[in-house]
A and B are shown apart, each in its own frame.
Chain A
Amino acid sequence: MSKVEVRKRVTIVEEIFHEGGPVAANPLCRAAALAVIRNPFAGKYVEEIAGFMDDLKPLGLEMAKSLVAALGGDAKRIEGYGKGAIVGAAGELEHGALWHVPGGYGMRETLGNAKAIVASTKKVGGPGTRLDVPVTHINASYVRSHFDAMEVGIVDAPRADELLLALVMTTGPRVHARVGGLRASEIKGEDGLR
């Protein structure tokens, strides 16, 4: 089992009041928790990597909790989520896939009973690479007002032998959401979709 070595953590909080339209009564908040860790598989092909997912679970949980704290401390306020990973140059795309289970676990544990699949994306890139983390409603993937994304990145990460892991949470719909579709008030919240 490899141990998780964290080099740095970054938290980003956006507070959006308007985008040229009416000023929102409650500004939309988006927050991202980023962690830069050593990639234990960098520079070589390792067949058995799946065990590292368990090693990452405590980090996933810690990052999810830090997001709730960054957004005011009340998990009930969280309405959207997403996750992503950037793999440094000496790693492979599959190393980014190791984040799916622990990242999702951390957020579900923190948010209680979130039903929807956690939207995700991943890539290989150098320091300063930006990642558009997709965001959807935590209980019903088809809630159209909550389809969103947050761009994240860190200027000095990931180095070649690192992984940049990201979790994102949001507190509501896009600030001027008005393209119809399923509303958060209409969801059944049983199948994770509607």
Chain B
Amino acid sequence: MKAKIRKLITFVEETRTEMNQTIDPPTRRAAAAAVIENPFAGRYVEDLTELMEIGEELGALLTERAVAALGVAGPAAESYGKAAAVGEDGELEHAAAVLHPKLGTPVRKVLGKGAALIPSSKKRGGLGVPLDIPLGHKDAAFVRSHFDGMEIRVGDAPRTNEILVAIAVTDSGRPLPRVGGLMKDQIKGEDGLR
């Protein structure tokens, strides 16, 4: 692997009740995160290819781990998202290099489809900085019941020369969706939007 990984973390959330209502089956989200060394920490480097290739590796690794944590087959995943936090000696563009050029293709390979844009966020921060990973339906971005987000944090990361990279997947939308909009059983899943 090109990525120098210090640690891997998996989070699984299972919501069984919300506002005293039983959620059956429970809604579930999983996030897999990697803490990697930032090869460009502390200096300005024009060509970010190495981080793009690291993104490709992590796209496969983290998606496989997240799906495995949910215990479902890849195509059963309903929504997804990605995010990265760069340690203080890096720049925001390092997160962009990991997340955007090459990470998506292996994610979609694991999940079977994924016509929709993978929602994302990025930031720079210190140890324990929280990451809010935005979530959207993987085949139709306008499915309102699946607009969501998942917060994760890793207490000892990112160090100044590290990047925390995370991918989240779910097998469901919000626990009690009732604000209307496009439903998942109405989607065509062709244009990635509806």
Contact = CB atoms under 8 A, between A and B. Distances in A.
Interface string A106-128: 00000000000101111101000
Contacts of B180: 50
Contact of B193 (A44, A134, A177, A192): A192
Contacts of A121: 119, 121, 132-135, 148-149
A174 B144 CA distance: 28
Given A117-B141, A117-B193, A191-B191, A178 B121 contact: no
Given A84-B149, A120-B134, A120-B147, A147 B122 contact: yes
A53 interface: yes
A92 B96 contact: no
Nearest to B100: A144
Interface stretch (A5-13, A59-67, A96-104): A96-104
Nearest to B97: A179
B119 A97 contact: no
Contact of A134 (B120, B125, B142, B191): B120
Nearest to A142: B117
B101 interface: yes
Interface in A147-181: 147-149, 151, 174-181
A180 B101 contact: yes
A57 interface: no
Interface residues of A, number: 50
Contacts of B193: 117, 191-193
A184 to B, nearest CB: 14
A134 B134 contact: yes
Nearest to B122: A149
A193 B178 contact: no
Interface of B: 18-21, 43-44, 46, 48, 52, 83, 91-93, 96-97, 99-101, 117, 119-123, 125, 130-135, 141-142, 144, 147-149, 151, 174-181, 191-193
Q: Which 5 A-B pairs have the closest CB atoms?
A: A121-B149, A149-B121, A132-B132, A121-B134, A19-B91
